[in-house]
Amino acid sequence: MDTREYDAMINGSFDRNKEVIGLPAEMGLFQHLILKDNSKEVEAGGSGEMLIPFAFEETLCRDVGAGLVPPSLHLWSHSGGVALGLRDSKLPYAAQAMDKLEQQGIRTAVRHSGGAAVPLDDGIVNVSLVLPKGRRKLDFHDDFRLLASLITEAVAMSHPQAAAQIEAGEIVGSYCPGDFDLAIGGRKFCGIAQRRQNNAYFVHAFVVVSGSGQERGELIHKFYEHASGGDSVLSYPQVRPETIAGLGELGGPNATEVFAEGIRQALARRGVLLKSSDRLQQETGYFLDYEDPRVLDAARVLHERYSQG
């Protein structure tokens, strides 16, 4: 299949009368991926602090909106944690459930983008498109459709047969369910959320690449059991772990770097020139990393604003 065929396929999953919106000719590329190298983990500028990647994107989004840096792609992973949605943090025993996870060595935080609780680990690739607000009327369905099509194309770079089976639509029983879940054979491997600022916004996807989807589903299921106190009348996702799978379990790529390379290639095939953070620094002087004081301050603000306590 060529790019247009993938667009048609993914559009057919949503609305056959809608077109996937375009992308800028140049984009910045920021990567904080935990990679495997000869059985040794290599973290590309990563951090164990749960809110740092979200604070980084919050800061980058402001800079994109101010015109300091071009629209950007951020690829990242985390060594292990659970990111809660705001509604999750309001459950009666959420604080105790978070403490229980922390005691197991699983970091927790409340994120500011939409959605419900999701696990984060080195087998999950987080993909964020950070874009300025243009003159066109913003429609989050367009942005979700754009990212869904890129993810489908990324899978197709290495595993075209798996990509041809990707469908979009809410997977009932999955964690963080939504209209733009991506699944193969009824098992979800990806969810999409969005965050908007005054002059820019980012659309974000978590993509389960390697490892067991069911084990991750069980982790989130147990969190909700503890956080709700077993009260099924409360409003929270009723997670069925068997509805989740990793791409590697579904006939797709089983390595985070293979999928991440697929995303980069998918953008390149659409004519997007990706400029690494090092190249941006050389050409424009712009530099941003996880240790930047602005990022650390943004993480502090996010923690104070959204923490359960």
Running along the chain, 309 residues long, what does each successive block of 10 average in pLDDT?
44 38 89 67 52 95 96 96 92 95 93 85 97 73 92 98 97 94 98 91 96 98 95 90 98 97 97 97 96 95 74
pTM above threshold 0.95: no
39, containing H or E segment: none
Q: What is the pLDDT of residue 111?
A: 85
* Type of residue at 222: K
Residues 6+ away with beta carbon under 8 Å from 161 = 251
Q: What is the pLDDT of residue 114?
A: 67
Q: How many CA atoms lie within 13 A of 227 on its CB side?
A: 27
Read out DSSP for 143-210?
HHHHHHHHHHHHHHHH-HHHHTTEEES--TTSSS--TT-EEETTEEEEEEEEEE-SSEEEEEEEEE-S
Asked whether the beta carbons of 225 and 156 are under 8 A apart, the reply is no
Q: Does 176 participate in catalysis according to the annotation?
A: yes
Q: Residue-wise over 96-117: b if at least 16 C-beta within 10 A, else e? A: ebbebbeeeebbbbbbbbbbbb
Q: Specify whether domain 3-298 bears CATH 3.30.930.10.
A: yes
Count the residues in the chain. Answer: 309
Q: Residue-wise over 185-222: b if at least 16 C-beta within 10 A, else e? A: eebbbbbbbbbbeeebbbbbbbbbbbbbbbebbbbbbe
- Taking CA atoms, 198 is separated from 21, 62, 99, in Å, by 21, 8, 34
Q: What is the pLDDT of residue 112?
A: 77
Given the residues 10, 176, 220, 288, the one annotated as active site:
176
Q: What is the pLDDT of residue 264?
A: 98
- The residue extents of the domains of the chain are 3-298
Whole-number Å distance between alpha carbons of 253 and 162: 9
Q: What is the pLDDT of residue 39?
A: 36
Residues 6+ away with beta carbon under 8 Å from 111 = 51, 54, 83, 84, 85, 306
